Chains A and B, each alone.
Chain A
């Protein structure tokens, strides 16, 4: 299907990134979207000017990010008529690429990611418990069933993310929903690493089930606590995995793959 890019979830991939480490952030965001299947193999990315505009970065920053993505083999660029940048999934097993991606996160960053996620999902669960009526729970229950049926880790990760987006929607908050959608573009690819395990998938399903029950009962404090525990447990697993990797404590994060070897004179992060 060729319909693309208007989807709120996909659109979040192309919303402005913040000032810090723009190249890195662009590389992360687009790379995560590719790992998560939000951008499909062979799909053409928007033109450089358009993409830079949508991400809120300068074209210089964008070109550096595209270079890093090319070096990771996630993007190919063709010149001339019909040319442009295209998503290309390398033949390397997904697991290996994802582990390399996880290695790009420090444990402190993962902890902070978990805190942000817990704040969003916890607040959403509390509000949903106050504002829910039985029909609101249908979407969450369907997602619970889909999680049990999802075969591979990327599918499980997408459904896991959808649960938290739907929880924010059940809170009747467009802002929390939008933020959760953006957060899921970051966390979704990483979650593939832990959701392949059937036992953990079942544990997540149980946790989601208990969140739904608390929301249904209007027990807003326990709904919040259960949602927080669910996402903090997920990030704790990522941190454990990160610490089990060789060279777990590295220096400053290398800029994805070989990009760190690029001459740094070209970096103009602040000029967007």
Chain B
């Protein structure tokens, strides 16, 4: 353990501030992705409001105007591997459902995701139950979905950050961005490794999103604490031999051995 020398009290204080710094840095990492989501949301809101104000029902062709912004965010934002706007079913006049979704390939190229959304052909045509869609729709708030295996879009173990889009007070879809877990790990595990104890990050349900602790691997569950309550209280706390530090503003909790 890389503990600072000095009296126990001072060490605890140092640890607490180091934890707070890491939690803040994790939050900033995800905030850069939420910034991209917010830009897509602003573009989509303005675009759809304009179409609706013109007395017309939006169509897929209108969403093409989102592409330059989406491409820019995909190439500029290192963590973002997929970005787009997902329409609420029934929003568009020409199709029952639609994802205006773009992905960055391993060669750096930006490509559209083309899904078969016809229920007569695909068992995967209904996307409205996925957390990245349902959470912003049901809460009206931005959300972090995952980690989860995204077999619909990328086939990758991912986090999806999303925010609801409203036009004239009506929910019309979500703006979202994908972060592959391996990229998230690359961004935050070096931070975790700086902490004196073996630390890991969990989501509100206790699912490990990144870890510097071989006993708690990404994708596993950390059981015991009510992490949703820790996030709601927005205060560091202790549970048994674990210290729990919420990353204020994003739904992740830093878990550290206590003492």
Q: Which residues of A are interface residues toward B (Cβ below 8 A)?
A: 1, 3-11, 37-38, 40, 130-133, 135, 138-139, 142, 146, 155, 158-159, 161-162, 165, 168-169, 172-174, 177-178, 181
Tell me whether A3 and B116 are in contact in the complex, defined as CB-CB below 8 angstroms, given that A131-B221, A135-B205, A162-B123 are known contacts: yes
B contact residues around A168 at 8 Å (CB): 149
Q: B160 to chain A: closest CB distance in Å? A: 14
B contact residues around A8 at 8 Å (CB): 151-155
A1 and B95 alpha carbons, distance in the complex (Å): 7
Neighbour of A133 across the interface among B120, B124, B149, B206, CB < 8 A: B206
Identify 21 residue pairs between A and B in the complex whose beta-carbon atoms are under 8 Å apart, listed by A's number. Answer: A1-B95, A1-B118, A3-B117, A4-B114, A7-B114, A7-B116, A7-B122, A10-B116, A40-B116, A130-B220, A131-B219, A132-B221, A133-B205, A139-B129, A142-B129, A159-B123, A162-B124, A172-B147, A172-B157, A173-B149, A177-B151
Neighbour of A9 across the interface among B124, B147, B149, B221, CB < 8 A: B124
Contact call B122/A158, Cβ cutoff below 8 A: yes
Tell me whether A169 and B149 are in contact in the complex, defined as CB-CB below 8 angstroms, given that A40-B121, A138-B129 are known contacts: yes
Nearest residue (CB) in B for A156 is B123
A contact residues around B117 at 8 Å (CB): 1, 3
Nearest residue (CB) in A for B103 is A6
Contact call B118/A161, Cβ cutoff below 8 A: no
A contact residues around B120 at 8 Å (CB): 37
Contact call B98/A177, Cβ cutoff below 8 A: no
A contact residues around B98 at 8 Å (CB): 3
Tell me whether A161 and B123 are in contact in the complex, defined as CB-CB below 8 angstroms, given that A1-B118, A7-B116 are known contacts: yes
Contact call A37/B207, Cβ cutoff below 8 A: no
Q: In this assembly, does B66 line the interface, its C-beta being within 8 Å of a C-beta of chain A? A: no
Per-residue A-contact encoding for B137-158, CB less than 8 Å = 1, 0 else: 0000000000111011111110
A181 and B131 alpha carbons, distance in the complex (Å): 21
Chain A binding site: helix, strand, loop or mixed by DSSP?
helix
A11 and B155 alpha carbons, distance in the complex (Å): 10
Which of B118, B123, B205 is packed against the most chain A CB atoms within 10 Å? B123
A contact residues around B233 at 8 Å (CB): none
Which residues between 88 and 108 of chain B lie within 8 Å of chain A, taking CB atoms? Answer: 95-96, 98-99, 103
A158 and B112 alpha carbons, distance in the complex (Å): 25
A213 and B147 alpha carbons, distance in the complex (Å): 23
Q: In this assembly, does B113 line the interface, its C-beta being within 8 Å of a C-beta of chain A? A: yes
A133 and B226 alpha carbons, distance in the complex (Å): 13
- The 3 closest A-B CB pairs, nearest first, are A172-B219, A158-B123, A169-B149
Contact call A174/B149, Cβ cutoff below 8 A: yes
A131 and B220 alpha carbons, distance in the complex (Å): 5
A contact residues around B115 at 8 Å (CB): 3-4, 6-7
Q: A172 to chain B: closest CB distance in Å? A: 3
Nearest residue (CB) in B for A150 is B123
Nearest residue (CB) in B for A38 is B121
A1 and B121 alpha carbons, distance in the complex (Å): 10
Contact call A6/B113, Cβ cutoff below 8 A: yes
A5 and B148 alpha carbons, distance in the complex (Å): 22
Which of B114, B117, B157 is packed against the most chain A CB atoms within 10 Å? B114
A181 and B114 alpha carbons, distance in the complex (Å): 17
B contact residues around A11 at 8 Å (CB): 155
Nearest residue (CB) in A for B134 is A138
15 extra interchain contacts, Cβ-Cβ under 8 A, other than A130-B221, A177-B155?
A6-B114, A7-B114, A7-B115, A7-B116, A7-B124, A8-B152, A9-B123, A9-B124, A38-B122, A133-B221, A135-B205, A162-B123, A172-B147, A173-B149, A178-B151
A11 and B111 alpha carbons, distance in the complex (Å): 14
B contact residues around A169 at 8 Å (CB): 148-149, 151
Q: A89 to chain B: closest CB distance in Å? A: 12
Q: B256 to chain A: closest CB distance in Å? A: 22
Which of B96, B98, B221 is packed against the most chain A CB atoms within 10 Å? B221
A contact residues around B116 at 8 Å (CB): 1, 3-4, 7, 10, 38, 40
A contact residues around B121 at 8 Å (CB): 37-38, 40
B contact residues around A132 at 8 Å (CB): 221
Contact call A9/B118, Cβ cutoff below 8 A: no
Contact call B156/A174, Cβ cutoff below 8 A: yes
Q: B109 to chain A: closest CB distance in Å? A: 13
Nearest residue (CB) in B for A162 is B123
